[in-house]
Amino acid sequence: WHYPLINLPTAWDLEEGSPDVIVAVVDSGVLLDHPDLQGQFVDGYDFISDPSSANDGDGIDDDPSDPGNGGLFAPSDFHGTHVSGTVAARTNNNFGVAGVAPGVRIMPLRAIGSSGTIYDVLQAVRFAAGLPNDSNTVPPQRADVINLSLGCEPSPCPCISQEQAVYDQVRDAGVMVVAAAGNESSPLPTSPAWCDGVISVSAVDLERKLTRYSNTGPTIDIAAPGGDIGADLDGVNGVDGVWSTLGSDVSGQLAFVYSAYNGTSMAAPHVAGVLALMKSANPDLTPAVIDQQLAAGSLTDDLGPPGRDDDYGHGLVNARKAVTTALN
């Protein structure tokens, strides 16, 4: 339901994504062996500095695998794997799900374990943009888009100066940053969606209405499908969540599965994927050009009051419209 809602299947007639375009997913890491994500990754990194939070026995290292945060009878959420599947799960392989931009590549960056810090997230963001960071290395090719399906606590929380300085540098490097607005039903988004230069994403349901949980506010730029696992308005699959790649470890053995989540965390990668399609169609696009086209209504369908508003920003992302804009 969420792909037709944003006119994505018709966008694929124009662009499915280039392997030269990279989306960095800063999250809990990924299940690198998930069959629907095979061939979709470039090398990533683990920036969790506290071994007690990392759950993998050490601090920062070059392995972005998600070891899970649950265990027997307490399932891990494998959040980063779900987000990555929405961005770029393999398509036309006769099983699983489809990613928004199946032709692009994902840079998995681990910054959230059993807990997380703004510092670790910013180190991952700096790495993605090819800026100096605690790993003392940079990727062979920087990311074009960074997805941040995360936020600080307690919520809402503003963008602190250290964050803003990093996002300013990332933008100057030509990298687009997308962040989830948060799920507290707050009239203000949580950071990093609060920060200037970050594309802040609120969530809509199957009926293109603001979800019950989505944060709103003056920094909201755009809306995308976040879903509602408490509803089944179309009578399909039991819930109106966003289905994507996942793992299950409740039995003590890891299984690769698919499941539905809801949240602004699910909305953000829809936007990151559409931006990756745009970048594939037109490699010359910059964050400033994206901002101009977003403000002009060239990437969205207006929802709510005419023009920009605090619930939907400039409207619901329209993939076909956005890719056509990039091509033009």
Q: Which residue has the tokens 């299984």?
A: 255
309 is catalytic: no
Which of 27, 120, 240, 249 is the catalytic position? Answer: 27
- Mapped onto helix, strand or coil, the DSSP state of residue 300 is strand
46 is catalytic: no
- Exposed/middle/buried for residue 49 (C-beta within 10 Å: 0-12, 13-18, 19+): middle
Residues 196, 167 contacting (CB under 8 angstroms): yes
Which of 18, 149, 200, 265 is the catalytic position? Answer: 265
27 is catalytic: yes
- Mapped onto helix, strand or coil, the DSSP state of residue 59 is coil
Give Cα separations from 149 to 111, 268, 269, 303 (angstroms).
11, 6, 8, 23
Cα separation, 33 vs 48, whole angstroms:
21
What are φ and ψ of residue 284, in 5° steps? Answer: -85, 0
Gyration radius from the chain CA atoms: 18
Name the residue type at position 147.
N
N-to-C CA span, the chain: 28
Residues 216, 313 contacting (CB under 8 angstroms): no
Of 229, 186, 188, 183, residue with least CA distance to 206: 229
Q: Which residues are known catalytic residues?
A: 27, 79, 265
